[in-house]
């Protein structure tokens, strides 16, 4: 099969901070891993929205799921007996050719910002988003 179009690809990392406490008083803290999970769920909704836009793309309108958001790496916490103070996750997102990468970045950042604003802790301690460059070509 001849390929005439390809989705764009972007990578970013989200860093979430929490409020660490010993597990015996977990309700007094804020779990950074659980907050990150809520951000990931919000990004899944954005993924659905972008896939719905395939109907207007001549190259991907018949593709079952052209845009994929992939959480490829996640890390957080320091040990199992404390509420995690930190969490980072790295995500790869596909972008339809009809969307500019700048607009795609704006939508991702807006999605994270809005989801954080709905979170009791993250509303006052917003996560950070760091965009990653594409993978370097291997040296010959």
Give the span between the Cα atoms of 88 and 65, in whole angstroms: 26
Q: Which CATH code of 3.40.190.10, 3.90.1150.10, 3.30.420.10, 3.30.70.360 fits the domain covering 8-132?
A: 3.30.70.360
Every domain of the chain and the residues it spans:
8-132
Q: What is the arrangement of strands in the sheet containing 128-132, beginning at the earlier edge strand? A: 69-76, 86-95, 8-17, 128-132
Residues 101-117 have pLDDT tens digits of 999 999 999 999 999 99
Residues 43-85 have pLDDT tens digits of 999 999 999 987 888 777 777 888 999 999 999 999 999 999 9
């Amino acid at each position: 099969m001849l390929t005439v179009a390809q989705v764009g690809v972007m990578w970013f990392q989200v860093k979430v901070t929490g409020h660490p406490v010993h597990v015996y008083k977990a309700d007094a803290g804020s779990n950074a891993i659980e907050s990150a999970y809520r951000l990931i769920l919000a990004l899944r909704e954005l993924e659905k929205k972008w896939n719905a836009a395939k109907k207007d793309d001549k190259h991907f309108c018949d593709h079952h799921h052209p845009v994929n958001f992939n959480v490829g790496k996640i890390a957080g916490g320091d040990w199992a007996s404390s509420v995690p103070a930190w969490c980072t996750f790295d995500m790869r997102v596909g972008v339809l050719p009809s969307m500019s990468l700048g607009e795609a970045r704006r939508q991702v950042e807006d999605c994270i910002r809005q989801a954080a604003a709905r979170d009791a802790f993250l509303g006052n301690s917003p996560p950070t988003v760091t965009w990653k460059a594409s993978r370097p070509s291997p040296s010959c």
